[in-house]
Structure 1
Amino acid sequence: MDRVAHNADALVGGEIGTGLYIDESAFAKKGDQSVGVARQWNGRLGKQDNCQVGVFGALGRRNRVALTDARLYLPKGWTDDPRRCERADVPRPEQIHRTKLQLAQEIVQHARELGVRFEWVGVDGGYGNSLEFLQSLQDQGETFLADIHSNRHIYLKDPVP
């Protein structure tokens, strides 16, 4: 994936307006042997179902977009069962539970470490609804555009109680 990220950067990185888009996708699965499969939210189906979930990073500008990173989400049911992880050949360093938000943060940090050039980070409401995640982007000096849920309260001034 690092090589792909460098290739994508060569195509669109560094151009004005280039963004790093973060989103997740789910893949329906039957059974329980595929790594990370569990009953969890599958946005493609619009419901909870047996699936794998990945968090993805893509570099893009205008009509050009290229995948640059992919992280498999491991539910606690997996990370709490080391034998299951071993049987599925999950590398030991990956056998710790990380939230999808933590995986997204790792994608942004890894892209910067690789030297991938982008001006801003874009996320959907699943990530934009987390103030902690958005604060981490701000603390890292990132410019970001985040969708938020329609029931989110936004204050233009600090509403000091």
Structure 2
Amino acid sequence: MYCGALSKRGNCQVGVSVHAVTDWASAALDWRLFLPKSWDDHTTADERQDERIRAQRRRCAIPDQARHREKWRLALDMIDELRQWGQPARPAVADTGYGDAAGFRQGLTERGLT
């Protein structure tokens, strides 16, 4: 998988996070583990491939409930969760990978964050 910290493909974990930011500091408020589709045995119809994926997940101690979900969907899930916690709506800033996703832009608009 491509790892931004390495600027190349590597063996890494990828997280999606939501941060609160001021002029002086930032702090992570929520985060999710991103799993690529190739690590989710629920996305294939090939039983042999499913077993390879399950074995890989066991070796890496990935919980069974962790499934592939697009990064932009994880971000919207966290925004919704923060609002349920009573956090006020704030402007959203994201990198181009999120901005390229029409569903993410639409989700921000629906939540009044544009």
User: Shared fold (TM-score greater than 0.5)?
Assistant: yes
Change over 3 Å in CA distance of 1:118–1:63 after alignment to 2: farther
The structure with more radius of gyration: 1
Equivalent pair of 1:59/1:118 in contact (CA under 8 Å):
no
Q: Whole-Å Cα distance in 1 between the matches of residues 23 and 34 of structure 2?
A: 29
Once superposed, what is the RMSD of the aligned Cα atoms? 1.9
Larger helix share, 1 or 2: 2
Equivalent pair of 2:34/2:71 in contact (CA under 8 Å):
yes
Deviation at 1:53, TM superposition (A): 0.7
Q: Which amino acid aligns with 1:71?
A: R
Equivalent pair of 1:78/1:85 in contact (CA under 8 Å):
yes
Equivalent pair of 1:53/1:72 in contact (CA under 8 Å):
yes
Equivalent pair of 2:89/2:113 in contact (CA under 8 Å):
no
Q: Whole-Å Cα distance in 2 between the matches of residues 54 and 77 of structure 1?
A: 16
Find the counterpart in structure 2 of residue 93 from structure 1. 65
Q: Does 1:107 align with 2:107?
A: no
Q: Which amino acid aligns with 2:37?
A: K
Equivalent pair of 1:42/1:49 in contact (CA under 8 Å):
yes
Q: Which amino acid aligns with 1:45?
A: L
Percent of counterpart pairs with the same letter? 35
Could you list the structure 1 runs, at least 4 aligned residues long, displaced by more than 6 angstroms after superposition.
Answer: none
TM-score by length of 2: 0.76
Larger strand share, 1 or 2: 1
Find the counterpart in structure 2 of residue 68 from structure 1. 29
Find the counterpart in structure 2 of residue 79 from structure 1. 40
Deviation at 1:86, TM superposition (A): 4.5
Find the counterpart in structure 2 of residue 53 from structure 1. 14
Change over 3 Å in CA distance of 1:87–1:49 after alignment to 2: closer
Q: Which amino acid aligns with 2:39?
A: W
The count of residues paired between Structure 1 and Structure 2 equals 103
Name structure 2 gaps, 5 residues minimum: 42-52
TM-score by length of 1: 0.56
Q: Whole-Å Cα distance in 2 between the matches of residues 116 and 84 of structure 1?
A: 37
